[in-house]
Chain A
Amino acid sequence: MSEMERAHIAPVRIGSVDERILTERQERVVNQRRDVLFTVEDLTVSYAGVPALKNVSLDIYKNFITAFIGPSGCGKSTFIRCFNRMNDLIPTAAVQGTVRYHGADLYAKDVDPVEVRKRIGMVFQKPNPFPKSIYDNVAFGPRILHMRGSLDERVERALRHAALWDEVKNRLKASALSLSGGQQQRLCIARCLAVEPDVILMDEPASALDPISTTAIEDLMHDLKQEYAIVIVTHNMQQAARVADMTAFFSVEVDQERDHRTGILVEYDTTPTIFTQPADKRTEGYVTGRFG
């Protein structure tokens, strides 16, 4: 009888194996993280003295797609605009804290915002092609930055990179506004790529597009991240789930006395973690759609 008891017939316990496999997996993700591209330290952005976003600290990694998600008013668009100093264009905006790009502080006194924007490109929510030809749209950047080399080649390369070349190669002189919404957005991406940035910031790039165009843009992002770092803001968290490697969840803190709504960073982790076992209850409330 004793031998029978010893005969282990119940399902195998996989305790020790479990830990080993899980640790291996996490190490794989960590090793995938390339260099740190941006380091944000204690960033606070205010409009006319009212803080819109406060005490944000995180790192953005090269060759990753990083998504900022959160309810409206949580400051994610404000945050992404800090990376290329587009907030400078708003007179009432004030930025405190540090944003380091390759180690250099972007907001140092002697830094020229124009120089910053040459290296950090941006694509906007509503496609905004210039009222010029397709060619002139893509060529605008290289022209104003006096980039050397064949302009035709640059334009073709950028359009190929943006998966638009085949559709427009025979009508480069046509008006950019004759393209469909999805094509216009890809044109804006091509325009951005033509100046050869390191980083592409995308503020809700597909929210104005239909589902097929959205999928095309998302596939494009996967291709682009081989060469660029991509940071996107999206209010569509399923998009963040599909596309992003790292996800940052922002939420809103309400100051009842002064009637201020300020954005804060709640959680920042790999996307699978955010969508399967987020550490913070607020994150979980948001991604499960139970957020108030």
Chain B
Amino acid sequence: MSAHTLDLKNRATGDKIRGRLFYALLLVSVTVGFVLLGTLLVDVFRKGLPFVDGILLTEPPSAVPERAGARPAILGTIYIMGLLLVMAVPIGVGTAIYLEEYANREKWYNRLLELNIQNLAAVPSIVYGILGLAFLVRGLGLGRVTLAGAMILTLLVLPIVIVASREAIRAVPDSIRQGAYALGATQWQTISRQVLPAAIPGIATGSILALARAIGETAPLILVGALTYVAFDPTILGPFTALPIQIYQWIARPQEDFRLLAAAAIIVLLVILLTMNAFAIWLRNRYQRRW
């Protein structure tokens, strides 16, 4: 007897239960992450928002909370980020182009280069600080200046820029290169006119990721000589400070008001970060339309 009945009803099998359990665990992790982050942000904004005003942005720090501002720190952070961009992006993108378009993977020196890049990413940031102190501040005789801070942070974030740029360059289909070569383009013409323009979204994303990483670094900057109390505007070849350091300095003060100021400075830091992210997303979308 082969009475074949069709049974399509929903039944609770072991696989299905495991599936639902897994889904529940996923929800828990997402919630935990968001809840923690959310709590932090809400706390910061609640405390700091009233203190975000003209004084914070334009006045130098002072012993009196009412008159204290973070202007030198804000300028310092902006200078460092600017220098970082100017140094890290060309070096990083150049390295990526070399590795992806020119290098022969079989050669030992290219393999060594790839290995070193991976190592760079694994080094703790404080070691970069020591490096900077030894070689840039003392060795090269630069002194405890903004440029030294920017240079050391460049090294720190270089792997990020390189990896992101390599991915972006690799993502350009080989058929585009073949098409350009077949028309009689040289290697450089192909790279500069086809590969790089197509890789810009990825490179931009990588650069912004690098900046985001660097903007919060404190330890290397301190070791390279960032001052905790700077009442004047920093210059590139002069003493400097940065927002994370200013925040740290304010939190360490006994007065409650300084801690609220620190929260306000955190908000400013976040705003700078979000602005950079927004710019990166805009840049990516503008170029991605073409694909």
Contact present for A177 and B175 (CB under 8 Å): no
Contact present for B185 and A114 (CB under 8 Å): yes
The answer to whether A188 and B179 touch (CB under 8 A), given A128-B173, A131-B198, A144-B189, is: yes
Closest chain B residue to A117, Cβ basis: B184
The answer to the question of A140 belonging to the interface, with a C-beta cut-off of 8 Å to chain B, is: yes
Contact present for A144 and B198 (CB under 8 Å): no
The answer to the question of B176 belonging to the interface, with a C-beta cut-off of 8 Å to chain A, is: yes
A106 to B183, CA, bound (A): 17
Residues in B whose Cβ lies below 8 Å from that of A177:
290-291
A122 to B181, CA, bound (A): 10
Residues in B whose Cβ lies below 8 Å from that of A121:
182-183
Residues in A whose Cβ lies below 8 Å from that of B175:
124, 126, 128
Binding site for B on A (CB under 8 A): 84, 86, 89, 91, 114-115, 117-118, 121-122, 124, 126, 128-132, 140-141, 144-145, 175, 177, 188, 191-192, 195
The answer to the question of B104 belonging to the interface, with a C-beta cut-off of 8 Å to chain A, is: yes
A–B pairs, 8, beta carbons within 8 Å: A117-B184, A124-B178, A128-B175, A131-B198, A132-B290, A140-B183, A141-B184, A145-B183
Which residues in window 162-218 of B have CB below 8 A to A? 173, 175-176, 178-186, 189, 193-194, 198
Residues in B whose Cβ lies below 8 Å from that of A89:
178, 181
The answer to whether A144 and B185 touch (CB under 8 A), given A128-B173, A128-B176, A131-B198, is: yes
Residues in A whose Cβ lies below 8 Å from that of B184:
114-115, 117-118, 141, 144-145, 195
- Extra contacts, 10 of them, besides A117-B182, A122-B182, A140-B183 (Cβ < 8 A), are A114-B185, A117-B181, A117-B184, A121-B182, A124-B175, A124-B178, A128-B178, A141-B183, A141-B184, A145-B184
Contact present for B173 and A114 (CB under 8 Å): no
Contact present for A86 and B290 (CB under 8 Å): no
Closest chain B residue to A140, Cβ basis: B183
Contact present for A191 and B290 (CB under 8 Å): no
* CB contact between A191 and one of B104, B173, B181, B183 (< 8 Å): that residue: B183
Contact present for B193 and A144 (CB under 8 Å): yes
Contact present for B183 and A144 (CB under 8 Å): yes
Most buried by B among A117, A118, A188: A117
A192 to B183, CA, bound (A): 7
A130 to B189, CA, bound (A): 14
Residues in A whose Cβ lies below 8 Å from that of B181:
86, 89, 117
Residues in B whose Cβ lies below 8 Å from that of A129:
179
* CB contact between A86 and one of B104, B178, B186 (< 8 Å): that residue: B178
Most buried by B among A121, A132, A141, A144: A144
Closest CB of chain A to B181's CB: distance in Å? 6
A132 to B289, CA, bound (A): 10
A124 to B177, CA, bound (A): 12
The answer to whether A175 and B290 touch (CB under 8 A), given A130-B176, A144-B189, is: yes
State the 10 A-B residue pairs at the shortest beta-carbon distance, nearest first.
Answer: A118-B184, A128-B175, A122-B182, A117-B184, A141-B183, A128-B179, A131-B290, A144-B189, A144-B185, A131-B291
Residues in A whose Cβ lies below 8 Å from that of B186:
114, 144
Closest CB of chain A to B204's CB: distance in Å? 16
Closest CB of chain A to B29's CB: distance in Å? 38
Closest chain B residue to A176, Cβ basis: B290
Contact present for B182 and A140 (CB under 8 Å): no
